[in-house]
Structure 1
Amino acid sequence: MSEPAVTTEDADQKVNILIVDDRPDKLMAHEVLLEELNQNIVKATSGKEALRCLLKEDFAVILLDVNMPGMDGFETASMIRQRPRSETTPIIFISAVNDTENHVSRGYSLGAVDYILTPVVPEILRAKIMVFADLFKKTEQIKRQGEERAKFIRAQAARKEAEARQERLAFLADASNVLARSLEFHDTFQNLAHLVVPRLADFCIIDIADDFGMLQQVAVAHRDPEQAAMLENLREHYPSSLASRHGGTRVFQTGKSEMCCDMTEEVLHDLFDREEDRQLIRALNAKSYTAVPLRARDRVLGAITMVNTTAHRQCGPNELSLAEELAQRAALALDNAGLYKAAQKAREEAERANLAKDRFLAMLSHELRTPLTPVLTSLLSFDSEEDVPDKIRPTLQMIRRNVELEARLIDDLLDLTRISKGKVQLSLEIVDAHGLLRNALEICQADIDQKQLVLELDLSASHVRLEADPARVQQIFWNLIKNAVKFTAQGGQLRIRTGNDELASELRVEVSDSGVGIDAESLPKIFKAFEQGERARMGGLGLGLAISKSLVEAHHGHITAESAGRDQGATFTAVFPLTDVAAQEESNGSGAAPADRKTMRILLVEDHEDTNRSLTQLLRRRGYHVQPAHNVRNALDLAATEEFDIVVSDIGLPDGTGVDLMQRLNATRPIAGIALTGFGMEEDIQKSHDGGFYHHLVKPVDLNKLDSIIQKVPLVERS
């Protein structure tokens, strides 16, 4: 091996030379002698001082006097050799003692490189010193080169490790993207297998357990297309039951990873019992394999098997760790897909059940409402007759109230469904809250009189005009008053008050009673549907307050309940915002006088005979020309022979639907329409509007409301 070349930088570098002698004159003489070498001369006057110098610096050579007081040169050399840092530093003894043989032997025994007697020949000493100086420089250069080489190797190793780590993170990121792309795990795992090949393995098999504990091959990939077909049929060549010993199945059974870096014949015999199975693996040229379990929530869901057909791939703890990290992410994705499918199935079942419930409620509403319409219209007809005996009128009014109550209960069920879906729709207009409150009170007046309740009515609010849905606001007031009457004993007190805040920005309506009260435990739940607490013994569905709360909030207001406890009565307060529009309307008065009534030709289509007959009579009494029809065919025949201004039609007809009828009528001659039906769900209303109806009324119909809508319908001009 050639010596390392000394560079110019190394040649110019000064080395340290240590001279140890107890006599200052000799120290000076040696320093002068070596001065022309242009090196760093360090002097010490004793062995102890020399040792202190060696603690601070490294020296190329040490000139050590033998005869020194205290610690002589031999003792000093022995101490120098005991320190690892200076155990190889060259020592040249210098002595004037002529006992040459004994001193030289002892000096060499202590590791000295030379023993020189004084007087010293300058040239010889300088030459020897330079030899050791050059040797020191070369040794230091070799050390530096070794350190630089080691540093370079460490840097390379660190760079390779960083690159491997970056590749690992990039691969896992790509795997996460694949796994997050879809919840259809068959496609996802097939894409994952193609990601594994060729980045981690030469071929890959992914097995997932079915509901019966059998492994099913869901994905396979091979870098060699010619081998892919053989791999696709791999499951046909060896069993996938839990009794099999091959890697994927064993890993699934034990839940522990396996790595085999050398697929020897012994390994093949351990994995496969049949020779044809071993032949297949040999044909695939498998050299090593890694199998890792798909584990999530303490369950093993399947396994990923990665096989290499070449020997150049790494096979060790790092590769196993990466495979396990991949399997962990894949298992999480598989588990999430399962949870999503379960949740989706549950949601679909809930939606089907909810849809079935809505259909049932819609049909129930229709079937219950339809018989009420002729009853209510007949009552209205009797009530308008002057020759009805006075003693019968209270009975007629009682029947009417109960019919309206029955309709209200039906509406409550449908309102609850609308509220749960967030589909409450408001028909906003400027309304007089006091007028609506009096209407609601009038409906409940008979019950108040029957219980002989003491009513205190204090309508002190000066600003009462709201931008609101009048039917809904009256419904709120009716619910609150009805609730107070219901839970107040015979002879109790009922107080209704209104007021405004200081800024006149809100209307406050209070309904108080002296009834059964609300205990502290039930008070927070009083506005929840079907929650009545101890009040359940009074009957009812427990829907009125829940619906009222939702309707108040739909008007951007709020409602509260207060009670001192059981038998202490209760106070319900509904607060509505007063809008600028309402305030302007209020300042301008109640508006223009109503326009003159329009006499119109009405085509009434209703298959329920009693409803058809009663509505026909009542509408004719109000001055309308009415032609009744009982089905689509009958209505079309009438429309073909006579012109009508408006059609009032049921939706469900024996030979079609009201929507069909409207579309066929409008196809030949446009006409305005009002739907009159027992179906009152949001989708029913939407279908009516989509079918061309101007308005959708739900049975039992309020004749006054029907009359008002007929008067408001914009008529279609005839050409």
Structure 2
Amino acid sequence: MVKEANILIVDDRQDKLLALETALDGLEQNVVTARSGDEALRKLLLQDFAVILLDVNMPGLDGFETAALIRQRPRSESTPIIFISAMNDSGNHVTRGYSLGAVDYILTPVIPEILRAKVAAFVDLYQKTEQVKRQAEEHAQLLHAQSARAQAEAAKERMAFLADASSVLVASLEYEKTFENLARLVVPRLAEFCLVDRMDKLGGIEQVAVAHQDPEQEELLRQIRYPGPEETSHGAFRVYVTGEPFVCNRVDEKMIADLVPEGDRELIRALRPTSFAAVPLHARGRVIGSITMVHTEPGAIFNPDTLWLAGELAHRTALALDNVELYRKANEARQEAEAASLAKDHFMAMLSHELRTPLTPVLTHLVRLASEPDIPELLRHPLEVIRRNVELEARLIDDLLDLTRVGSGKIHLEREVVDVHALLGNAIEICRGDVEAKGLELKVDLEAQDHFVNADPARLQQVFWNVIKNAVKFTDEGSLHVATRDEEDGGISITVRDTGSGIEKTLQARVFQPFEQVERGKGGGLGLGLAISRTLVELHGGTIALESDGPGQGTTVTVAVPTVAERPREEAGRATPERDGTRQLRILLLEDHVDTSESLTLLLEMQGHEVTQAFDVASALKLAETRDFDLLLSDLGLPDGSPGVVMKAVAKRNGTMGVALSGFGMDKDVERTRGYGFRHHLVKPVDVGRLEEILLECGVEEIINH
């Protein structure tokens, strides 16, 4: 639909304006009138006109002056002006009118038909011109929209490519695989073939990946020779030196001669490059490699968009390589940490073995001497002091091993329903000699009604022993109070209160840390007991806390653990075997430590057992082939092999039970013992009481079996 055109009529007389409007009625256009030159200029500021009918003689600005001002305005400088005048001074007026850009000069009276025809021609020209302008604008807008859409689609495609590239590049944590993925991304998206290289350790350049749109050509790419550290003039070094992209959109003989040594030029010519771009790979503040993209199609070039995309790809590759480097370093650190942990565990195990082994003959000789009826009373106390200190030494070794287990999270609980009061009683009895030696008043109030827990009895008793031992150690006079009570949440709390040296407020938060001691050197110890106790209590789902009002005010330690309604299972029909009901055993003792073998032999023979000594696996096997034994008592660390073969030999002949003796007491050592077929694992120094229980058990089995 054609839009109406605006026609401006300017005359100071109303009757003439009306006459001209009437003459133009048949054109069906928008006619605008003005009574003066000033008003006409104001109308021109508001809208554009197809043609202007301008009276020459007007007060103020006349028609010529008004026309001159109209022509000074850029938007109306080409608007057609028709002068209308009643004066027949054609010589001056017409000449002046045309000099001002008038398209016609009409004398009144105006003939309506002629006026309409002239105005209609200018209106038609104006409308067609406006239509052409609109079409041109619409076409320009269409082209702009198409260009914007194409740019948006290209940008979207680039972003999608880079997103896919990032996913591919981070898919591997190996340098070579990352470089290979990079080459595959470049071809054929950015070039017909691609070379990826990096700086080697000597400062030269080495090829790490290639890709070609024709896979058969890749072998040719791999034959390209790269420069050594002394060939710095080689073109491949350029991006490493400048750190900037190197682009050549026209490869000719001169370019090949400038960049490639003579002996390598024939191979480059065979690849038919037409243009190339080398982009550096920046990582950790230096150029570590480059991507060389090569076109082989005539006229193909690397434009700014392609180079931007290549630069972004190089940036993402550098990030992926950083991840590879971080993973490599983290993996190396983890392996070093694991190796250090294994070395530490091995050291601790060997240390405990070497420390424990000499203690066994000491303890066994002490037990044997103490059992002699005619030993002077004067020596009994020194023997007891020696025994206690040897047992303390063994306890310190156990604490070190327990600390290792705590650090590696390898403490294993053998849970069963146990009586807390019974475990407390055992711990008190162990410490009773020290309590009596100091003359302390011991008060025990076991008031808890619910005192059964699902726990590892040995470990929980270890906690009680540590707490009571500490209370005795730091209390020189006064009293010791051990009590239990029911907790509101259904658990049981065990409180050990002493009147000893107390602890400063600033130290109370640290006493559960390894190697922390309130008074250095007092009563021995390494400061590990409470640290290990806290871990054991927490593994049982409980808590341990310490309170003291300060130095000289005593200390209270409270252990709280959850209880269970179930009671310990009574082992029906099981009676404690008495020595009189057992027979003496034939024991094969396999021990390479001479002192330990001698002391154990003396102790066992004092109890009436028949002991045969063997100091290595070979001699033990010979004995097992010719003699019958009721029990194999064997060390684990033997000079010529594993005790497992001996265990199998004696078990096959007699169904014999085995007891392992070892300075190694870690969980894996116990598991290895069971794998050999041994029923029991005793850690050196041998607990003589526990050994006697096992011998008694073995004797009862012998009576039953015979």
Per the normalisation by structure 2, the TM-score is 0.85
Q: Distance in 1 between matches of 2:324 and 2:596?
A: 55
Aligned to 2:445: 459
Equivalent position SS for 1:329: helix
Aligned to 1:254: 242
CA contact 1:20–1:46 (8 Å) conserved in 2: yes
Does 1:576 find its partner at 2:560? Answer: yes
Which stretches in structure 2 are left out of the alignment for 5+ residues? Answer: none
Pairwise mapping of residues 302-701 of structure 1 onto structure 2 (< 5 A)?
302-380=289-367, 390-448=377-435, 452=438, 454-455=440-441, 457=443, 459=445, 461-462=447-448, 463-487=450-474, 490-491=476-477, 496=482, 498-512=484-498, 514-515=500-501, 517-518=503-504, 520=506, 522-532=507-517, 535=520, 540-562=525-547, 567-568=551-552, 571=555, 573-580=557-564, 583-585=565-567, 591=570, 595-597=574-576, 606-608=590-592, 649-661=634-646, 675-701=660-686
Equivalent position SS for 2:545: strand
Change (3 A) 1:465 1:51: same
Does 1:22 find its partner at 2:1? Answer: no
CA contact 2:274–2:299 (8 Å) conserved in 1: no
Pairwise mapping of residues 195-206 of structure 1 onto structure 2 (< 5 A)?
195-206=185-196
Aligned residue among 103, 125, 128 for 2:118? 128
Counterpart AA for 1:258: F
Change (3 A) 1:245 1:76: farther
Q: Distance in 1 between matches of 2:5 and 2:237?
A: 70
Change (3 A) 1:72 1:268: farther
Q: Which is worse superposed, 179-188 or 501-510?
A: 501-510
Q: Which is worse superposed, 122-131 or 179-188?
A: 122-131
Q: Distance in 1 between matches of 2:10 and 2:599?
A: 138
Query: C-alpha displacement at 1:165, in angstroms?
Result: 1.7
Q: After superposition, give the CA deviation of every residue in 1:101-120 in whole Å (9 maximum; x if it has no partner).
A: 32223332332222222222
CA contact 1:366–1:678 (8 Å) conserved in 2: yes
Q: Distance in 2 between matches of 1:537 and 1:48?
A: 115
Q: Distance in 2 between matches of 1:208 and 1:221?
A: 16
Q: After superposition, give the CA deviation of every residue in 1:386-420 in whole Å (9 maximum; x if it has no partner).
A: 66655444333323222221221221121111111
Which stretches in structure 1 are left out of the alignment for 5+ residues? Answer: 1-8
Query: C-alpha displacement at 1:625, in angstroms?
Result: 9.6
CA contact 2:443–2:481 (8 Å) conserved in 1: yes
Q: After superposition, give the CA deviation of every residue in 1:156-192 in whole Å (9 maximum; x if it has no partner).
A: 2222222222222222223222321222211220221
CA contact 2:541–2:562 (8 Å) conserved in 1: no
Q: Which is worse superposed, 670-679 or 213-222?
A: 670-679
Change (3 A) 1:367 1:269: same
CA contact 1:557–1:574 (8 Å) conserved in 2: no
Counterpart AA for 2:232: S
Pairwise mapping of residues 279-294 of structure 1 onto structure 2 (< 5 A)?
280-294=267-281
Equivalent position SS for 2:161: helix
CA contact 1:671–1:715 (8 Å) conserved in 2: no
Counterpart AA for 2:491: S
Q: After superposition, give the CA deviation of every residue in 1:175-217 in whole Å (9 maximum; x if it has no partner).
A: 2223212222112202211221221123322222233333222
Equivalent position SS for 1:656: coil
Aligned to 1:103: 93
CA contact 1:248–1:292 (8 Å) conserved in 2: no
Counterpart AA for 1:295: H
Counterpart AA for 1:607: E
CA contact 2:418–2:567 (8 Å) conserved in 1: no
Equivalent position SS for 1:235: coil
Counterpart AA for 1:681: M
Query: C-alpha displacement at 1:385, in angstroms?
Result: 6.2
Aligned to 2:176: 186
Number of residue pairs the alignment of both structures matches:
696
Q: Which is worse superposed, 414-423 or 26-35?
A: 26-35
Q: Distance in 1 between matches of 2:608 and 2:115?
A: 145
Equivalent position SS for 1:155: helix
Question: Matched residues, percent identical?
Answer: 53
Counterpart AA for 1:576: A
Query: C-alpha displacement at 1:614, in angstroms?
Result: 6.2
Query: C-alpha displacement at 1:715, in angstroms?
Result: 8.7
Query: C-alpha displacement at 1:378, in angstroms?
Result: 4.8
Equivalent position SS for 1:198: coil
Q: Distance in 1 between matches of 2:530 and 2:417?
A: 24
